Amino acid sequence: DAGVIQSPRHEVTEMGQEVTLRCKPISGHDYLFWYRQTMMRGLELLIYFNNNVPIDDSGMPEDRFSAKMPNASFSTLKIQPSEPRDSAVYFCASSSHTRGGRSSLGANVLTFGAGSRLTVL
Amino acid sequence: GENVGLHLPTLSVQEGDNSIINCAYSNSASDYFIWYKQESGKGPQFIIDIRSNMDKRQGQRVTVLLNKTVKHLSLQIAATQPGDSAVYFCAETRRPLSGYSTLTFGKGTMLLVSP
């Protein structure tokens, strides 16, 4: 398996522009997570999906952020309009309750993508 | 910039030494803990986990210790190698009887291993 695939790896944009980040989870995983990482706040959960349905979006900073999962193999995180304070590394992660990716304790383990580094000027 | 004045705790060791990375967790109700390793330019990667009914768990070259009394976790890495250089995060959660509970990540510790 190629793991969780994110694109783009790097994005530099100007304030006010729309940004779309993409994620392909591991095939068969039924949970998908979007995290944001900054030095100030560390890793923050933005939103997660189960079977393509958003379960908890309480971490989404504000209305400028939206996430979708139109099918089991694809998700997007969109920022419109972008602001300099959105600059961060955005990670997508997936896990499965029923298939693989379990630790020896039986707990499902998050597998992270390599991240998308966003810089908003 | 947002990084001014803020640095990750850093542990510098020599190759071959044993490393101990500490983590204080916040929620006394948490019953499951994980250590992740994040190398430069990559996403966090699972290392080892432990349940609250355990005090210690060993993996390959790594040991996690849990002290629930003081809400403290540690990750011990034996015979540290340059490839162990990374940021290490602890994460905690309280697993529900059904459904899913999300992880809360600590701020991380940077481990630097010198040859």
pLDDT, tens digit, 9 for 90 and up, residues A60-78: 988 999 999 999 999 999 9
Quickly count: other Cβ atoms within 10 Å of residue A110's Cβ: 24
Mutation pick from A85, A104, A110 vs chain B, by most beta carbons of B within 10 Å, is A110
Domain boundaries, chain B: 30-114
- Mean pLDDT over B12-25 rounds to 95
Assigned superfamily of B30-114? Immunoglobulins (2.60.40.10)
Among the partner residues B41, B50, B103, nearest to A110 by beta-carbon distance: B103
Q: Which of B47-51, B71-75, B100-104 has the lowest mean pLDDT?
A: B100-104
Chain B residue numbers touching A53 (CB-CB < 8 A): none
Closest CA of chain A from B43, distance in Å: 5
Alpha carbons B71 and B69: distance in angstroms, whole number:
6
Which two tokens mark B109? Answer: 């510790």
- Mean pLDDT over B47-68 rounds to 94
Whether residue B100 and residue A97 make contact (CB cut-off 8 A), yes or no, is yes
Q: What are phi and psi of A100, to 5 degrees?
A: 60, -175
- Mean pLDDT over A91-106 rounds to 74
Alpha carbons A101 and A115: distance in angstroms, whole number:
19
Query: Which DSSP string do the residues of A34-83 spell out, in sequence order?
Result: EEEEETTTEEEEEEEEETTEEEE-TT--STTEEEEEEETTEEEEEESS--
pLDDT attached to residue B3 = 37
Alpha carbons A56 and A35: distance in angstroms, whole number:
12
